[in-house]
Amino acid sequence: MTDVTDSAWLVEETGFGPEGFDRARANYHETIFTVGNGRLGTRGSLEEGHLGQLSGTFLGGVYDGHEVPVIDLVNVPDWLDTAVYVDGVRLDVDTCTVVEHRRVLDLRDGVLTRSTLFEDADGRRTRLETERCASMADRRICALRLTVTPENHDGQIVVETGIDGDRRNLEALPVYPAGTVFDVRTRWEKWALAKHMEQTARSAADTLYLQMRTLDTGVELGFLASTTFATPPVHRAAQQRSERVTERTVHGGAPVRMEKLVAICTSRDPDASGPLPDRCRSALAEQEGFGSAGFDGAGFGSAGFDGAGFDGAGFDGVVAASRAVWEQLWDACACEVVGDERFTRALRFGLYHLLITANPDDPTVNIGAKSLSGEGYRGHVFWDTEIFMLPFFILTQPDTARALLRYRHHTLDGARANSREYGTGGARYAWESADTGREECPQFTPDGANRFWTREEEVHVSADVAYGIFRYVEATGDTAFLHDYGAEVLFETSRFWVDRVAASPAGGYELRQVMGPDEFHSHIDNNAFTNRLAQWHLTRTVALYDELRDRHPDVLAAVATTIGLKPDERDRWQAVAEGIVGPRTVAGVIEQFTGYFDRDDIPITEWDDNDMPRYPKGYHHFNCETTKLLKQPDVVMLNYLLPDEFSAEVKKANFEYYEKRTLHKSSLSPSIHAIIGMEVGDTTRAVQYFERSVLVDLADNQGNTAEGMHIASAGGTWQILVNGFGGLRVLGGRLSFTPWLPGDWQGIRFRLRWRGRPVHVSVDHGHVELLLGGDAGGTEGVLVGGREVTLTAGEPVRVAR
């Protein structure tokens, strides 16, 4: 087991006795124990499986829509697929008693370690230990190590391991009477299942190879597994049947120790060329020294039977290489609540999940609302990326931020088609996007009972993408990105806005029939958030156009040629930006949309155990239209996103007004109220929202972590640390820190990257300490509590608060 040297880096599951394995929480643990590397995620399911398990491996960008109403992120072949038998009895939680069970996820290197002691009906006790990881150093590689140790017997041990391609996605649960509860063993069996793959090749000899193809999208997926044993098995048989390849090894002595390396290559990998089996083979061969005979044609025998199995780097080598990359990742985003292990662990846990779901090397993929940790929201990409997660990547892992934004450029054709479909020009980003950028948002709830309008009306996502681009360029100075990709996206989305607006009878332009971030109100006109962000988008794009025209005419000419841009379009963007109607304001409170102030004011009077509001009696997700109740922040979100543009009084007035009416029925919501709560002085509420947000998945406080991580909330939680407690805003293009700390905290630390240089920030009750990194001599002007401070690289600065 992992050495417990720093428990603020470790997430654990522990059980003893008859309840040693908590079946009711198995799916929750599968989500939180997901291992991954940005390219793929594998849920933390037990290798041997059990009733009620919801296992899955997901590869970024691998979607399929075969015979389902809405495209799915495909649950691809299971590379873990391993079972152990003792004298013919299978070791699993359905067959045996679990005497002890412990798992530890080490956030430092992404290795999930397990130790389970099983007892069978005849009293034989056998310990099964595993370690697994998805390599960060080579995203094609996954590794598993298995140790089987009999504790009170000398029974025969058989290990079966392979690749299982017989996988299904969950499709829909039939409608049952309200209140129906299913046994945890059978709950997933009630669901209709969607098949998304067919086998295209397989072989089972020295190595195990399975190739599957997604049925509609035609993505080929190659999985090649190679095993080595510390002590040669006495017998080995490779087996194959439809969609599954395995090997069965019989062992003459104990303990049994196996290492399994799996290479996963696909036809959609960037720069992929050559046959998939060859690419998988060379990926394994590159894992220096790993049981080479197992896959080079010399035969399993020489690697597996001569005891030479662990000669080379093997599992440890994969982990060591991966750990070296993890160290760099953590170095860039280290953070801590000083002296508070629980919050530090929870913050790191969120960052771990962000890091394992974003791939800096693939600009054709993005992050789904449940990351690569589950099937919730079918792997679709929302505004969650640009508004909740991108700030973390921009300010700590800018290469990853760049790749995430390039996905928007990659899917621009899909966005163009979306816009055409709704009768406008340019490009309109999908509310729910997958592999092509086409709109994938369902129109109805799965039971058909309720209509969603987000697909048609939540158009602010196009401005959110623009917001992400401008914030990225501001923080990194990466004008090459702007020139090569950003400008085209910004121009095309600006074209969408000028077609989407309607002339107002009172003069100017309106945006009608929209839905703001608060999704309780549909078909509304002039949502303050949407209007203002579209205006900001257009204004910034006009400025960009002018800058390109004046300073980079070649760049402008190239983009203009690509998209057929005419000079008068710029003037139209400006005219619409200047003419978009502003919101009604009463005593500083911005009306969320036209007529909002006239809706029914239904008080929130009850809060749950997490101090989160309950729906007032008689209200639910689909009937708050006529009320002032909000699902999640809308105006308050706007105040946060454009900090330069609203006075302290306006922010306070809006927070106080909308806080009373916000139900926080999205996991995205509390983070924004935490940050603005701190800014306007409602610190009690702010801390409650922080706790809610930071523990959303570890404490499963939404009750649905089983379906996947609330990954936007992890991004929002990082923003609470940095923008809330750290008080970071970018004002007039400069970093500005106005921290606030709860009285019982010692301090916080976090690291940022600003215009190519690291900035280390440390805050306690007396001081803010800042250290600018990078080449000697570099300087950066910042604000601390409103005072100007110049940072010089390598020289720590301590400022009294």
Residue ranges in contact with ligand IFM by CB under 6 A:
369, 377, 382-384, 517, 666, 668, 712
Spot the catalytic one: 47, 171, 519, 659. 519
Contact status, residue 227 vs residue 161, Cβ threshold 8 Å: yes
If 0-12 CB within 10 Å is exposed, 13-18 middle and 19+ buried, where does residue 317 land? Answer: buried
Shortest distance, position 557 Cβ to ligand IFM, whole Å: 37
Strand partners, 503: 509
Known catalytic residue at 519: yes
Q: Which residues pair with 41 in a beta bridge?
A: 36, 58
Compute, in degrees rounded to 10, the torsion defined by CA atoms 588, 592, 598, 599: -130
Instruction: Assign 64 to helix, strand or coil.
Output: strand
Residue 341: Cβ within 10 Å count: 13
Beta-carbon contacts of residue 369 (< 8 Å; ≥ 6 apart): 376, 377, 380, 381, 382, 384, 708, 711, 712
Please name the residue that has the structure tokens 């979607």.
63
Nearest distance in Å: CB 703, ligand IFM: 15
Provide CB contacts within 8 A for 433, sequence distance 6+: 366, 380, 381, 382, 411, 414, 439, 440
Backbone angles phi, psi at 787, to 5 degrees: -95, 145
CB 712 → ligand IFM: shortest distance, Å? 5
Nearer to ligand IFM among residue 208 and residue 636 (C-beta): 636
Cβ proximity to ligand IFM, 433 vs 683, nearer residue: 433
Nearer to ligand IFM among residue 59 and residue 668 (C-beta): 668
Q: Which residues have a Cβ under 8 Å from the Cβ of 186 and sit 6 or more positions away? A: 51, 52
User: Is 349 or 383 the residue whose CB approaches ligand IFM more closely?
Assistant: 383
Distance set, CA 295 to CA 89, 145, 280, 317 (Å) = 31, 18, 10, 17
In three-state secondary structure terms, 706 is helix
Residue closer to ligand IFM, measured from CB, 615 or 740: 615
Q: Which is nearer to ligand IFM, 276 or 636 (CB)?
A: 636
> What's the angle, vertex CA 573, arms to CA 643 and CA 567, rounded to 5?
135
DSSP 155-218: --EEEEEEEE----EEEEPPP--TT----TTTGGGGSEEE--EEEEEEEESSSEEEEEEETTT-
CB of 464 to ligand IFM, least distance (A): 10
Contact 391, 718 (CB under 8 A): yes
CA dist list (Å): 477 to 149, 480, 756:
56, 9, 8
- Residue 634, classed as helix, strand or coil, is coil
d(CA 531, CA 534): 5
- Give the helix ranges, DSSP H, for 33-134: none
Task: Give the shortest CB-418-to-ligand IFM separation in angstroms.
Answer: 17
Residue among 574 and 639 whose Cβ is closer to ligand IFM: 639
C-alpha 576/C-alpha 172 separation (Å) is 43
Q: How far is the CB of 447 from ligand IFM (least distance, A)?
A: 18
Q: Between 222 and 350, whose beta carbon lies closer to ligand IFM?
A: 350
Q: Of 109 and 707, which has the nearer Cβ to ligand IFM? A: 707
Q: Minimum Å distance from CB 576 to ligand IFM? A: 26
Q: How far is Cα 351 from Cα 355, in angstroms, rounded to an integer?
A: 6
Cβ 380 to ligand IFM shortest distance, Å: 8
Q: How far is the CB of 529 from ligand IFM (least distance, A)?
A: 12
What residues are annotated to the active site? Answer: 519
